[in-house]
Structure 1
Amino acid sequence: MADSAQSELQTPGRGNGLRDVYGSRFLLKLLVRKELKVRYRGSVLGIVWSYVKPGVQFIVFYVALGVFLGLEQSPTNRGGLPNYAIYLFSGIILINFFTEALGNASRSIVGNGGLIKKIYLPRQLFPVASVWVSAVHFFPQLLILAVACLFTGWHPSLIQVLAAVAGFIIVTLLATGLGLLFGAANVYFRDSENFVDMLLMIATWASPVMYSWTMVQHKLGETWYALYQVNPMTIAVETFHYAFWLPTTDGSAGIPPHLLSLWIPVGLLVSAGVLLWGQMTFRRLEGRFAQEL
């Protein structure tokens, strides 16, 4: 009898990981609502700011890279990318989703320290809620991209739409996994926030958001290019280019070889591995969150 009771004991502060998030869906919904209300409390524009930032970012990059550096194809510049505005914006909204999700998730445990010290609830809820809030900002931007694509002759196939869904799943898994990892590490080492900021800066430029994959292949060669292509963000961005940008062109620009057959499965596998790593690290460290906070 005593052995049975002892076997049911669990380490204080530890739960069942992401399974608890699924079982606490109502709490997750409340946290997402709370995050949105707190973020825009006292703001005049409110959620419109989620459109202003990518809009300004798009204009700056388009003028600097598309116009001044000649990445936009024109009658006098045949070496640029056709419909560069669509190419650029389809990458920007995805990379912004990743940077916002990971940045907020990595700070979510420390930011909710007062609540964590008062009551027990599944701690994974906080990083996951941050990713959901970022998704709330992402989908309206995706709608704007789709409308812009329609005006430029967008006629995607079912495979292209499914590729975009796969790209979104890759980014979501990656952001959640890294958010769990750095969210837990940030409780013990506050330098983690600075490391995440550097990581997000690198992620913006290490993916083909503003330039073509052919430039990378030409500069790095096949061996190093294959290593570059393993980056899940690179794969996800290319799926969005394949789904939204390529159907608005004559198709001559092309996509990375084996994107559908090789790189999308690789991206899903790597992102799932990062999620598992983040979850295992989070569960190991969460037992002392209340004490450390």
Structure 2
Amino acid sequence: MSEESLSLGAGATSVRVVSARVGLPTRLANLWRRRELLRNLISSDVQIKYKGSALGLLWSMLAPAFTLGIYYLVFSVFLKNGYPNYVIFLFSGLIVWNLFQNAVNVSTSIIVDRAGLVKKVSFPREILPLASVGAAVVFWLIQMVVLVLFLVIFHHAPDWGMLLLLPVTFAALYLFTAAVAIVMSALTVYLRDIKHLMEVLLQLWFWLSPVVYSYSNSIAPALHRHGLAAIYFINPMSLIVLTFQRTFYNATTVTSTLSGQPLHMLPTWSVGTFVALNVGLLIVAAVVFLLALVVFGRLEGNFESEL
């Protein structure tokens, strides 16, 4: 909180006025100073999620593996899409989406769920949604282990050059996810229906992102023919998912296992194009994250009265 001195006149006592409005530099500095609290909350969120469970963190592997199996049966077995090594293509995009979806779902109501803590303890409130994002990252790392196992089982090598780009892509994913989480957590304090609305929107968002289908089966090629390809990438998850798929699936055009015809699974961009697009996305994500902190700061002043 910022403080300023208010003089009540000659001979009067000077009173400190505490303002709920905190400038962005101060807000960032407060987050850095309370990073130990953030780590503790992340650890607590991870432990609470599977508290009392016999399998514990193994559910972080089993749950996405089960989802993967369903999508594989639907698209590869029943609908016969003919995608070779579809498990790797699907899972490399699915774990990215899982991180985003899980973080946003939990963080949307996190301030309402922790109302007692928010009203009684003084700390940067945006740490709560950031902790939810951090816990989602922990589960994502566990799922990455499963992806590596799939690569070994299927004798499928990733694109080693693209691997060097993943830290940039992940940073963009983290900042964008954190921005959405921070804003939604604040809005839900004032309108509790936001949580249910986000659950619906995330389902729609999933199908607008190229997780389960190839790039050629998306609307991107049609938009590209009309010079409108940029519209497809207004959704930041599109580029993030495509980058992870390009890295681990390591193919742009493959041969259908059914028809023997070529399938355009991913954009035929050069590594340099992926680098340029991801660096641009990282810059945009950083700006959006900072704007999210500003919005949060403008909304948090009345949290106590609304909770």
Do the structures match in fold with TM over 0.5?
Answer: yes
Which amino acid is 1:240 matched to? Answer: F
In 2, the alpha carbon distance for the partners of 1:210 and 1:98 equals: 16
Q: How many angstroms does 1:218 deviate by?
A: 4.3
**Which 5+ residue runs of structure 2 have no aligned equivalent?**
8-15, 256-261
Question: Equivalent residue of 1:269, what SS?
Answer: helix
Return the match for 2:79 from 50, 69, 82.
Answer: 69
Q: How many angstroms does 1:82 deviate by?
A: 2.2
Partner of 1:136: 138
1:49 maps onto 2:59 in alignment: yes
The answer to whether the 8 A contact 2:159-2:246 is kept is: no
In 1, the alpha carbon distance for the partners of 2:51 and 2:146 equals: 25
In 2, the alpha carbon distance for the partners of 1:202 and 1:166 equals: 26
The answer to whether the 8 A contact 2:179-2:289 is kept is: yes
C-alpha change, 1:159 and 1:59, in structure 2 (3 Å) is same
**Which 5+ residue runs of structure 1 have no aligned equivalent?**
74-80
State percent identity of aligned pairs: 31
C-alpha change, 1:129 and 1:49, in structure 2 (3 Å) is same
Instruction: Answer with 7-16 or 157-166: which moved more.
Output: 7-16
Partner of 1:76: none
Q: How many angstroms does 1:190 deviate by?
A: 0.8
1:285 maps onto 2:299 in alignment: yes
Q: TM-score, normalised by structure 1?
A: 0.87
In 1, the alpha carbon distance for the partners of 2:155 and 2:166 equals: 18
Partner of 2:27: 17
In 1, the alpha carbon distance for the partners of 2:28 and 2:180 equals: 14
Higher helix share: 1
Q: TM-score, normalised by structure 2?
A: 0.83
Aligned pair count reads: 283
Higher strand share: 2
The answer to whether the 8 A contact 2:105-2:199 is kept is: yes
In 1, the alpha carbon distance for the partners of 2:265 and 2:145 equals: 24
Q: How many angstroms does 1:118 deviate by?
A: 0.8
The answer to whether the 8 A contact 1:86-1:149 is kept is: yes
Partner of 1:272: 286
In 2, the alpha carbon distance for the partners of 1:241 and 1:66 equals: 17
Q: How many angstroms does 1:4 deviate by?
A: 7.0
Which amino acid is 1:47 matched to? Answer: L
Partner of 2:42: 32
1:232 maps onto 2:236 in alignment: yes
1:152 maps onto 2:154 in alignment: yes
**Rg comparison, structure with higher value:** 2
1:255 maps onto 2:266 in alignment: yes
